[in-house]
């Protein structure tokens, strides 16, 4: 526990020192909230009625939260990779798996807090925190998926930036499912956050949980995490 406490303190110091990480952990969520709470409603009132698209706009903003926090985790891990900390862990009392689990959990916890209260903070959708909890957890699981995906594919921070931009395009694709008729939309099911969007859509439309899409979403994300963690340990 002492080692995890030291890691947590060190993480907070690293985030505070790095402007990019400050933007990711603090400024970006604030920007998303201001955009949803003030700018989108203003556009809807004065320029073009966007109310019918509020759920889709919310999903677009909501998926950005775990992506940004996942990017923060990936940069923290990359810094430690560059300092050969992953090699040093072989002779430390903390195992590599425990370290990685902590690293993914700490920032993901911050991501979860933002995700859980995001409906209340943005005002774009009307749903209780309790009803939203399963979907918020599913959104949060996307955080470590992004972090591991970037670390497994990128060898440096320049490549990480490029991957983050590409990921942004790919993970927005499930939003087109709402404009595709019948079951053809399930073609987009190969993208993990598709299931999160479908579960949230059912919750907003009926007020009940969509256990099918939630269940598939949880299994998909957990399977991805297992595979990505295995690849990470094998690579580093």
Residue 118 belongs to some domain of the structure: yes
Identify whether the C-beta of residue 74 lies closer than 8 Å to the C-beta of residue 108.
Answer: no
Structure tokens that stand for 76 in this block:
């923290």
Residue with tokens 């909890």: 133
Residue 228 belongs to some domain of the structure: no
Residue 222 belongs to some domain of the structure: no
230: pLDDT strictly greater than 70:
yes
Which tens digit of pLDDT belongs to each residue from 104-130?
Answer: 888 888 899 999 999 999 999 999 999
Residue 122 belongs to some domain of the structure: yes
Identify whether the C-beta of residue 36 lies closer than 8 Å to the C-beta of residue 122.
Answer: yes
Least confident of 70-79, 121-130, 135-144, 200-209: 70-79
Euclidean distance between CA atoms 100 and 28, whole angstroms: 24
Which tens digit of pLDDT belongs to each residue from 20-36?
Answer: 666 667 788 888 999 99
Note the pTM of the prediction, 2 decimals: 0.87
Which structural domain range is residue 34 located in?
2-172
Which tens digit of pLDDT belongs to each residue from 89-109?
Answer: 555 566 667 777 887 888 888
Residue 224 belongs to some domain of the structure: no
Residue 230 belongs to some domain of the structure: no
Least confident of 2-6, 27-31, 187-191: 2-6
Nearest partner of 196 among 35, 37, 28, 65, judged by Cα: 65
Please count the structural domains in the chain: 1
Euclidean distance between CA atoms 150 and 169, whole angstroms: 14
Residue 84 belongs to some domain of the structure: yes
DSSP state of 198: H
């Amino acid at each position: 526990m002492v080692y995890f406490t030291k890691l947590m303190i060190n993480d907070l110091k690293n985030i505070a020192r790095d402007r990019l990480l400050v933007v990711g952990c603090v400024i970006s969520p604030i920007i998303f909230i201001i955009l949803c709470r003030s700018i989108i409603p203003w556009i809807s009132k004065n320029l073009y009625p966007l109310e019918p698209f509020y759920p889709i706009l919310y999903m677009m903003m909501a998926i950005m939260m775990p992506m940004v926090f996942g990017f923060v985790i990936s940069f923290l891990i990359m810094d430690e990779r560059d300092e050969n900390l992953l090699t040093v862990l072989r002779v430390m009392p903390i195992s590599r798996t425990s370290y990685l689990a902590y690293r993914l959990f700490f920032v993901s916890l911050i991501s979860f807090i933002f995700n859980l209260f995001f409906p209340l903070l943005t005002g774009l959708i009307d749903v209780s925190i309790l009803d939203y909890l399963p979907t918020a957890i599913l959104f949060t699981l996307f955080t470590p998926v992004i972090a591991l995906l970037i670390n497994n594919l990128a060898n440096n921070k320049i490549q990480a930036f490029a991957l983050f931009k590409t990921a942004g395009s790919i993970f927005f694709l499930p939003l087109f499912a709402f404009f595709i008729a019948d079951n053809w939309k399930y073609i987009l099911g190969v993208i993990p956050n598709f299931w999160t969007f479908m579960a949230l859509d059912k919750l907003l439309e009926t007020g009940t949980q969509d256990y099918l899409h939630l269940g598939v979403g949880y299994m998909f994300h957990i399977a991805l995490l297992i595979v990505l963690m295995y690849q990470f340990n094998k690579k580093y």
